[in-house]
Amino acid sequence: MIPVAFEYTRPSTVEDAVAVLAADPDAKVLAGGQSLLPVLRLRLAAPSTLVDLRDVESLHGVRVADGELVIGAMTTHAEILHDRRVAEHAPLIAAATATVGDRQVRHLGTFGGSLSHADPAGDLPAVALALSATMVAVGPGGRREIPAADFFVDYLTTALAPDEILAEVRVPDTAGWGYRYEKFSRMAQAWAVVAVAALVRRADGGVADTRVALTSMASRPVRATAVEQALTGTDGDSGAITAAAGHADEGTEPPDDVNGAADYRAHLARVLTRRALTAAAGA
């Protein structure tokens, strides 16, 4: 279907983009458009104006600053897959990004767009949560930092105000951590029925730190804190992993829909968590 008519603007600074959003509550941001365009075509949204961020140079690219990886919101999935800094400092992001959409979608879709869209079945929100990333938003009042744990509020809903733009994402260095993004989908290019983002840091033969976040187990990505607590401090062998993974669905509210019943998703969460931790812990 053809989208409802809208105005189009392509500012070259974040400030100009924010000004358009602040002046018009029905204006929407266009990043890579790989989620927005299908929504527009189905006429599920009818924004008055699209603010295309393509020409805002400061939103593009990856850098390392103060020991953290900083990913510009407009950096595409394909760019992330080819970036050596991402591979070195946050390989979990690269592993999950390789499973996003398909090749064509990854050429246009952006890291920041995926996070801002906040689909609970999207791959990158759970990854950002597991990594304890910090979202840097820009609005009329300037910049503010939002921890990933506070950023994802509900289904397709983030802590961003309507006149705020996600500018960049700061990611703590996890070089040396074991990692795995374990995703279960029914067919190629399909959304995850359930997926698990796992990080394990070993020290002195044991598990010093564990992070597990779940995709599509609630209306937003959730941390599996019971799993994390159960594994951390153990020797990380297969028995400890199996025991910890049994807690994966605790406190979750998995969707019950055509892609999977709630109890099936709970089962998947436990199985995929065991697999993800086995890979991440090198067990």
Type and span of the H or E element at 30: strand 27-30
d(CA 16, CA 32): 19
Answer whether 12's CB lies under 8 Å from 54's CB: no
26 binds another protein (CB under 8 A): no
Binding segment toward another protein, per CB under 8 A, in 39-47, 84-92, 127-135, 242-250: 39-47
Shortest distance in whole angstroms from residue 53 CB to another protein: 11
Q: For another protein, what does the binding mask look like between residues 59 and 98, x meaning CB under 8 A?
A: -------------------x--------------------
Q: For another protein, what does the binding mask look like between residues 137 and 176, x meaning CB under 8 A?
A: ----------------------------------------
Long-range contacts of 75-83 (CB under 8 A, 24+ apart): 75/110, 75/111, 75/112, 76/32, 76/106, 76/107, 76/108, 76/109, 76/110, 76/111, 77/101, 77/105, 77/106, 77/107, 77/109, 77/110, 77/111, 77/114, 78/106, 78/107, 80/111, 81/106
Shortest distance in whole angstroms from residue 214 CB to another protein: 24
Residue 44: which of 72, 92, 3, 82 has the closest Cα? 3
Binding segment toward another protein, per CB under 8 A, in 32-40, 84-92, 156-164, 244-252: 32-40
Residue whose entry in the numeric block shows the structure tokens 């994390």: 228
Binding segment toward another protein, per CB under 8 A, in 3-11, 112-120, 171-179, 259-267: 3-11
Give residues 110-139 in contact with another protein (rule: CB under 8 A): none
Collapsing DSSP to helix, strand or coil, 122 comes out as coil
Shortest distance in whole angstroms from residue 9 CB to another protein: 9
Residue 32: which of 143, 132, 154, 166 has the closest Cα? 166
* Binding residue for another protein, selected from 21, 34, 94, 236, defined by CB under 8 A: 34
How many residues at the interface with another protein, by CB under 8 A? 30
Residue 223: which of 260, 184, 197 has the closest Cα? 197
Shortest distance in whole angstroms from residue 140 CB to another protein: 25
* Binding residue for another protein, selected from 18, 21, 40, 136, defined by CB under 8 A: 40
3 binds another protein (CB under 8 A): yes
Answer whether 182's CB lies under 8 Å from 272's CB: yes
Using CB under 8 A, list all residues that contact another protein: 1-8, 10, 30, 33-34, 37-38, 40-42, 50, 52, 54, 78, 101-105, 107-108, 188-189
